[in-house]
């Protein structure tokens, strides 16, 4: 877990997945996103699969990762489609994969399907030494459902489980981050995403157990952190 007292600007920047996932994203948007990520030293740019090769080129020579969102944002693709999309993103240079689970299968209590999907996705990413995050979309799930999927993750061992896409009816909550972290323990990390737009919210997520933050407000949060630290 992150010790807030040991944070500095550089360490905080390495917790951010700098995000632009809008349908209307242009080449200029990705150029701006990647420049910001390089200038500030963010951990990753979070994008849809098509611009992966562009962003990989734009980030060449930096240590910023390119992260592709898979089955995004609904999660209602077949497992085979998600695997194809993942392989394609990896072929184009993706360093990290954030995929959305089949939420309907969770609501049906078909946890065998969720396990099968997660095992297949984790296996493919491990084969290519690519980091993988599993998006739950907690706004649609009951607490017991969140816990059940987290228990599967604890066994299957993706790198992260993640709260939200940012496109659902709600984003990350401190309560959900804490539940997810308490369930997986030290076996899997937690990424908080969705609605995190200021330092106070970010800080609360980190204190609850998040070790990665997905946000389009990375620079604003960093500036507020600096102000808070020097106040």
Task: Tell me the C-alpha to C-alpha distance, in Å, between residue 66 and each of 59, 130, 135, 175, 198.
Answer: 8, 10, 17, 29, 23
pLDDT in tens, 91-133: 999 999 999 999 999 999 999 999 999 999 999 999 999 999 9
pLDDT in tens, 17-67: 999 999 999 999 999 999 999 999 999 999 999 999 999 999 999 999 999
pLDDT of 210 over the 80 cut: yes
Count other Cβ atoms within 10 Å, centred on residue 47: 28
Q: How many angstroms separate the CA atoms of 199 and 203, rounded?
A: 6
pLDDT of 231 over the 80 cut: no
pLDDT in tens, 166-209: 999 999 999 999 999 999 999 999 999 999 999 999 999 999 99
pLDDT in tens, 73-94: 999 999 999 999 999 999 999 9
Closest C-alpha among 212, 200, 196, 190 to residue 43: 212
- Report the 3 state secondary structure along 128-158: CCCEEEEECCHHHCCHHHHHHHHHHHHHHCC
Peptide bond into 99 cis (omega under 30): no
Give pLDDT, residue 106: 98
Give pLDDT, residue 78: 98
pLDDT in tens, 133-145: 999 999 999 999 9
Q: How many angstroms separate the CA atoms of 210 and 198, rounded?
A: 15
Residues forming a β-bridge with 44: 17, 65
Average pLDDT over residues 145-150: 98
What's the token pair of residue 57?
A: 């080129």
pLDDT of 229 over the 90 cut: no
The pTM assigned to this predicted structure is 0.97
Active site residues: 98, 162, 191
The C-alpha angle with vertex 192 and arms to 4 and 181, in degrees rounded to 5, equals: 75
Give pLDDT, residue 37: 98
E strand segments, the chain: 16-19, 44-47, 65-70, 96-100, 131-135, 160-162, 189-193, 212-215
Domains of the chain, each with CATH number or no CATH: 8-230 (3.20.20.70)
């Amino acid at each position: 877990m992150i010790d807030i007292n040991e944070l500095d600007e550089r360490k905080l920047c390495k917790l951010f997945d700098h995000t632009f996932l809008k349908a209307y994203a242009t080449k200029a948007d990705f150029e701006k996103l990647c420049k910001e990520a390089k200038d500030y030293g963010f951990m990753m740019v979070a994008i849809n699969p098509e611009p992966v090769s562009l962003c990989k080129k734009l980030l060449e020579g930096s240590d910023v990762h390119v992260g592709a969102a898979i089955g995004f944002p609904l999660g209602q693709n077949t497992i085979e489609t998600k695997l194809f999309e993942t392989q394609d993103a990896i072929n184009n240079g993706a360093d990290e994969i954030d995929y959305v689970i089949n939420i309907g299968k969770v609501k049906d209590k078909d946890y065998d399907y969720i396990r099968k999907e997660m095992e297949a996705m984790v296996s493919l990413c491990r084969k290519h030494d690519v980091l993988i995050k599993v998006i739950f979309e907690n706004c649609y799930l009951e607490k017991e459902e969140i816990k059940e999927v987290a228990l599967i993750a604890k066994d299957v061992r993706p790198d992260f489980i993640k709260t939200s896409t940012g496109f659902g009816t709600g984003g990350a909550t401190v309560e959900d981050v804490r539940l997810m972290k308490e369930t997986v323990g030290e076996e899997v990390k937690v990424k908080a995403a969705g609605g995190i737009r200021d330092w106070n919210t970010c800080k609360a997520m980190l204190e609850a157990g998040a070790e990665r933050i997905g946000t389009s407000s990375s620079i604003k949060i960093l500036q507020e952190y600096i102000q808070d630290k020097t106040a």
